[in-house]
């Protein structure tokens, strides 16, 4: 494991709310942990709906500007769009818990073998 936290990026760019109602529970069963709720191209309504869906399916929130360099269809610079601090805190807390669990499982495995 590389330690990544699986998060669905900017779902409203390609999916509707109805699509997500079907997809999210299936993706969560496969290990999805979070969803990008705060995104530079989202309207206020899309952000609100994304947060509501994340809450409904008990997913962590993330956010981002989607900066991919200077040659995009639209210009977004690093720092132009900032997600709330609690997004980062929730992901870091999750990651910390996962590390502790992995360490505990590794210890149990080495003691039993």
Comparing CA positions, the residue from 66, 12, 90, 76 lying closest to residue 44 is 12
Residue 44 has pLDDT above 80, yes or no: yes
> Would you state the pLDDT for residue 74?
67
Residue pLDDT, tens place only, 14-39: 999 999 999 999 999 999 999 999 98
Whole-model pTM: value is: 0.77
Instruction: For the chain, give the percent of residues with pLDDT over 90.
Output: 41
**Average pLDDT taken over every residue of the chain:** 85
Residue 53 has pLDDT above 90, yes or no: yes
Pairwise pLDDT comparison (82 vs 87), residue with the higher score: 87
CB-side neighbour CA atoms (13 Å) of 2: 3
3-state secondary structure of 34: strand
Within the chain, strands assigned E span 7-8, 34-39, 60-64
Residue pLDDT, tens place only, 72-86: 666 666 666 778 888
| Dihedral angle computed from the Cα positions of residues 70, 74, 80 and 84, in that order, rounded to the nearest 10 degrees | -120
Handedness of CA 2, 37, 49, 13 (dihedral sign): negative
């Amino acid at each position: 494991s590389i330690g990544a936290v699986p998060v669905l990026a900017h779902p409203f760019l390609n999916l509707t709310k109805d699509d997500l109602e079907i997809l999210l529970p299936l993706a969560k069963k496969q290990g999805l942990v979070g969803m990008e709720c705060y995104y530079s191209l989202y309207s206020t309504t899309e952000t609100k709906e994304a947060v509501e869906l994340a809450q409904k399916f008990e997913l962590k929130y993330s956010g981002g500007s989607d900066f991919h360099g200077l040659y995009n269809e639209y210009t977004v610079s690093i720092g132009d769009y900032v997600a709330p601090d609690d997004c980062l805190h929730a992901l870091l807390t999750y990651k910390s818990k996962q590390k502790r669990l992995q360490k505990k499982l590794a210890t149990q495995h080495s003691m039993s073998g």
